[in-house]
Amino acid sequence: MLAERTQSVGRYAPSPTGDLHVGNAFAAVVTWARARQRRGCCLLRIEDLDTPRVVAGAAGRIVKDCAALGLAFDPFVVADAAGDEAVQDGVVWQSRRTRAYADALQALVDDGLVFACRCSRRDLQRAASAPHAGDEGPVYPGTCRELGIPLDAPDVALRVRVDRLARRHGDPGHGAAGHSAVVAVDDAWQGCFAHDVTTDVGDFVVRRRDGLFSYQLAVVVDDRWQGVTEVVRGADLLASAPRQILLHRALAASDGTPPRPPSFAHLPLLVDGDGQRLSKRSPQAPGLLGAVLQQTSAPALIGHFAALLGVVVAGARLTVEEFAALPLEAALQRPTVGWAPPG
Ligand SMILES: [Zn+2]
């Protein structure tokens, strides 16, 4: 059973592939503030699905760092007993949700939307003769789509046929058939973003060769399960939104529920002086959040975020509640925000 949408539901969903850095902290604060401004709740979900990349202990430190910033997340209350094992202290852990992802994958298989792919990464790069490449590598050229490789064959990835997916669930009103491969997102901060999913994305992976479920599938299954009404996350994930909208619609169709994809708000990324996304490896980055909070108080850092957005003067000290009360909307309508160290 899916959660009822009685209010605005947002989520902060970090991957514990390392500790939070300042760019992650900015995203966490903005995500939490957005939920507060909409008088909704903000859930915490640990996206620890990519187990080979998960760093031991990082999830616990993320929870601690968020608490140090003053971010109190709302507990997720499970509506179905079957999902109970994935929730601990109101926090959802993706690594405990594999049964739900397998069920969703099976629904897509039953609808004829999935095929097995044997291509290696090198095959895909070689096949990409056109310079046109998607955000996650080359657009899949369709090599294995009609080969009928058994889905349970060893060493295959499972991909979704975007031609069928788009024909059934693309935005209506385009093309002769009333549907087209174009899916548009009316993003709260980044404006209108549209993809032709057949040419811009191609058949995308829902289960990897190593057997792990893909980010795209897991996020949609969990956002549906948790009743998320608005996805707030970094602008680097804007290109995922059309695919996720299609998966939302396909999964809703398969279980006979109304298609209700969330709305999206992709927040600007903190970038360094060269326009590169701030990461823990950026030369100008002040390092990991845990270390920063030893030098700078949480209110000083949050005040600094607001100053970078131009909504307060430099040197302000703010709690997350005070940050959430600021007029942030216009300030967030850009793809990047330049980082400069406080003081
Ligand atoms: Zn293939």
Domains and CATH numbers, the chain: 1-96+262-343 (3.40.50.620)
Residue with tokens 């975020």: 305
Would you say 63 and 80 are in contact if contact means Cβ atoms under 8 Å apart? no
C-alpha 156 to ligand 1 mean position (Å): 8
C-alpha 144 to ligand 1 mean position (Å): 4
pLDDT (tens digit, 9 = 90+) per residue, 200-251?
A: 889 999 999 999 999 999 999 999 999 999 999 999 999 999 999 999 999 9
pTM metric for this prediction? 0.93
Query: 30 Cβ partners below 8 Å, 6+ apart?
Result: 232, 267, 305, 328, 332
pLDDT of 177 higher than 60: no
Average pLDDT over residues 288-309: 94
Among residues 44, 21, 22, 19, the alpha carbon closest in space to that of 32 is found at 44
- Quick one: residue 142, left, alpha or beta (phi over 0 = left, psi -120 to 50 = alpha)? left
CA-to-CA distance for 329 and 268, rounded, in angstroms? 12
For residue 202, count CB atoms less than 10 angstroms from its CB and return exposed for 0-12, middle for 13-18, buried for 19 or more: buried
Helix (H) or strand (E) holding 64: helix 58-69
C-alpha 113 to ligand 1 mean position (Å): 15
* The predicted structure's pLDDT at residue 2: 45
C-alpha 127 to ligand 1 mean position (Å): 10
CA-to-CA distance for 59 and 46, rounded, in angstroms? 7
C-alpha 241 to ligand 1 mean position (Å): 23
CA-to-CA distance for 235 and 269, rounded, in angstroms? 6
3-state class (DSSP) for residue 272: coil
C-alpha 123 to ligand 1 mean position (Å): 8
Residue with tokens 């059973």: 1
Among residues 309, 307, 85, 103, the alpha carbon closest in space to that of 206 is found at 103
Average pLDDT over residues 41-59: 96
C-alpha 255 to ligand 1 mean position (Å): 29
C-alpha 252 to ligand 1 mean position (Å): 27
C-alpha 161 to ligand 1 mean position (Å): 12
* The predicted structure's pLDDT at residue 15: 95
pLDDT of 287 higher than 60: yes
